[in-house]
Chain A
């Protein structure tokens, strides 16, 4: 039986008898199958109406979620007294430099979101135009930082809002997350009038929650150089680890120095940061001043003749930068400490 079986079973190796046409045909057929698979895949992208109606139903009951941070297309629509002189322009992160060139470097790292710019003409003096710049900086601190960084000397503070000043031909102010500037093409008698009118118009059209900046009130008022409070978002005094620092210039005993306050996330972080700053100064050549002179809570470093001091009050880091003598530095620090106590 077995032998019989063996002789009946042929050798199954037929590979040499496959003709070319058979192979070609076979591969063509496989190719056709691939086409079919591809066709099926492509076809599956037109959804069956039953699936589409399912999706349609899912969407309609929900209200369209309003997009976050909707920057108004026209943050300023011209008040009555003004007519439009040029169409509104908007610029984002990529295109900001098209408008303000190198100055973009000030804004971009400070949280810049968008710029709205437009030229308007007052109806009573049509020869003049005013260009409005509204920078959306995302939050008030950012707006304040670019505002304070550019504050001109000889600036005339304006009272219509907390942080505002004017120049002969311009007005600069902070309004919530916005930093705004208006520049006049010519100076005339009613320039300031126009400037303030536009500013007030913008402010009222864009109501914001005005949160007072906390750190500012801890700066002692005496000896403060007016309107010198600035906000340094990062790299304060050359130290990478020092960010979110409010700095103000003081004139104490005929000497100038800078006081600074920074709110940290916790008491531990404030202490840590103080230590880091001191170490930073020492690493770059400073020498620590003994605590017998300064007092237990204050650390001071003599940095090539100028003196920096730090102390912590709760989560706040405070101190002095570039004081000309240790005495005046300690005095300033004490004043700050006092201020913290009273607030």
Chain B
């Protein structure tokens, strides 16, 4: 037990000799001087005459990088006629030139799925696990060095990823599921936006990512009319994001401005026609057997709306996003490749 008192006994020696006394004094004075200097410099260095700012200025406001292909060519493939998701996805991707067009060797891919609810895949409230596993497979086949899957669910994340089957699907193909946690969120501001300003974004999973694919089922939505690829990005927001439901079309518009994906996959195999976004009854679903793959999320949503029996006029967020230059609502103008799988 090293007693701090040890110092004290040593001092007594110096008292005896006058010269030593002087020396002790000078050493002590020197130490005192150093302390004064240290205290003063600390004081002046940290001196803050103004006090804290109104809001704790968070460090960096980040912006998502643009993951779209350099040529920015809007393309779309629509496959009708089959309920086999693997098949319809494969055909759609092939029609667009194959996954290699989008995923290059060494790419690190992030799949933004809809795992919002802890619902079984049959309710079509979440991205279907078959779609997830097939997409991962295609990515790896195209040379991706890593594939991760993420979402910030509404319900408890672990349960959502499990019960929706996405977790299992991802792991089966060797992809990583990144569950949200507080440290993965960072504030973002969408330039020109009114709502998404300094808002927590699930940014952590984007670390090192080079390609982004959004995957969403076609669903009716009680508040916004529909939930498709643009609304899918809502799952990247953190904080008390339900506040945005007060201006839901506005926020979807800004979400579309915020994210520029490489590709979006809109699954219209079983469309949730009513009672969205949670659905719950199989009678809410209609088997429309359609798979839409596009680089233009606005066009994809505009086409998906038709499966819901709606049009862009019913869904203001589509027109708003188009007005912001995110894409075009007139999907025919981008000459979608239509395939009938028979």
A and B touch in the complex (CB under 8 A): no
| Chain B residues near A (Cβ < 8 Å) | none
| Chain A residues near B (Cβ < 8 Å) | none
